[in-house]
Amino acid sequence: MEEEGIRCFTIKGSAIAAFYPHPYLRSMGDSDFVIDASNMDDAHKIMLQGGYSCISVGEYLKKRMMVEIHRYLADMIQINTVRVVEFFNSYWDYFHDGQLDWSFHFLYLLFHLRSHLIGSGVGLRQFADTAVLTKYNQDLNWPWIKAKLIELDMWNFAQKVFALNSYWFQIKPPIESEDAEEIFLSLATEQILKNGVFGFADKNNRANRILMDNRMKGHSPITIMLKRAIASVFPKYKFMIRMPQYAFLKGKPYFLPVAWIYRGFYTIKNRGFARAKAVLETSFTTQEAIDERKALFEKWGLRDSEMQ
């Protein structure tokens, strides 16, 4: 990408691994790259020329190597304010001499951890990343980090993360923060360990997705769940054409209904009825699960108004 004049940088795992006592201790499910949105089409061509297959928008696979290319670091989901989205998507302001500023990177790790907590589930690994950087990275500007956390309404949440890092790893940041209650530390520890390394074992993912969906505002939970189910069964044209098995659809959006039918048969043939059923099930949950999840977010220092 650099040879083609495309600015890019790595973020999260591959960038943080060097700070671990041994880089192989930092397990990774994929490698994450960030580029300018205007270069996405060129980057897509480069990935295909490099022997990668596009399995979804921005996601590429070559043998067992998964690469994810990001154009944005923050999306306008319910939990994110406009200020938060604008800040994290201004990442080029913090990119100098071919590297992302580490204080900004640390803030993004906290933001990413929060996104996993309210999304696909958070695991121990995300906390370990923040703990390792706190202990070993000497380039972190802690007064600036605290000021930004307060400005972005993330300070209460960050304090919970710092408290857990102290509770588990005996690592505290060099800034003053309040200690969390013992009952929260105990319950959070149980929850996060159950979620596994990556956090995907979280059983409340469905409720998380409902709470994060922009369309939740002004609609009943059942309405938003039905909309999500329809969207999962009938994806948009831009999503479909990124996958090689639907290449015949490019330039022919009128064939989209045919592609939906083909997708259904393709999923059942290659993954079975269980997978097809799971696609629908992930869109539904109960009101009780949603209410329980909102209560949990409040304990984590996420403002109640953010979850309405």
Domain co-membership, 186 together with 303: yes
Q: Flag whether 228 is in a domain.
A: no
More confident residue, 243 or 143: 143
Locate 106 and state its tokens.
């640390």
User: With 90 as the cut, is the pLDDT of residue 164 above it?
Assistant: yes
User: Region 282-304: what's the mean pLDDT?
Assistant: 64
User: Can you give the pLDDT at residue 177?
Assistant: 80
- Which letter does DSSP use for residue 232 in this model? H
Contact present, 174 and 143 (Cβ < 8 Å): no
User: With 50 as the cut, is the pLDDT of residue 306 above it?
Assistant: no
Q: Flag whether 195 is in a domain.
A: yes
User: Can you give the pLDDT at residue 287?
Assistant: 63
Q: How confident is the model at residue 78 (pLDDT cuts 50, 70, 90)?
A: low
What are phi and psi for residue 100, nearest 5 degrees? -80, 135
Domain co-membership, 11 together with 141: no
Q: Flag whether 229 is in a domain.
A: no
User: Can you give the pLDDT at residue 49?
Assistant: 92
Domain co-membership, 20 together with 114: no
Name the residue range of residue 216's domain: 72-223+288-308
User: Can you give the pLDDT at residue 173?
Assistant: 92
- Measured distance between the N- and C-terminal CA atoms of the chain, rounded to whole angstroms: 41
User: Can you give the pLDDT at residue 165?
Assistant: 94
Q: Flag whether 230 is in a domain.
A: no
From the list 160, 115, 150, the residue with the least C-alpha distance to 12 is 115
* CA neighbours closer than 13 Å in the CB half-sphere of residue 186: 3
Domain co-membership, 138 together with 59: no
More confident residue, 266 or 52: 52
Q: Flag whether 8 is in a domain.
A: yes
Strands 99-100 and 95-96 come out as: antiparallel
User: With 70 as the cut, is the pLDDT of residue 175 above it?
Assistant: yes
Residues 223 and 105: their CA atoms lie apart, in Å, by 37
Q: How confident is the model over 14-51, as pLDDT tens digits?
A: 889 999 988 888 887 788 999 988 888 899 999 999 99
The number of distinct structural domains making up the chain is: 3
Domain co-membership, 62 together with 3: yes
Q: How confident is the model at residue 241 (pLDDT cuts 50, 70, 90)?
A: confident
User: How much is the pTM?
Assistant: 0.72
Neighbours of 271 (CB within 10 A): 12
User: With 80 as the cut, is the pLDDT of residue 110 above it?
Assistant: yes
User: Region 214-241: what's the mean pLDDT?
Assistant: 71
Domain co-membership, 203 together with 250: no
Least confident of 118-122, 171-175, 205-209: 205-209
What are phi and psi for residue 35, nearest 5 degrees? -135, 175
User: With 80 as the cut, is the pLDDT of residue 209 above it?
Assistant: no
User: Can you give the pLDDT at residue 47?
Assistant: 92
Q: Flag whether 275 is in a domain.
A: yes
User: With 60 as the cut, is the pLDDT of residue 211 above it?
Assistant: no
Domain co-membership, 193 together with 241: no
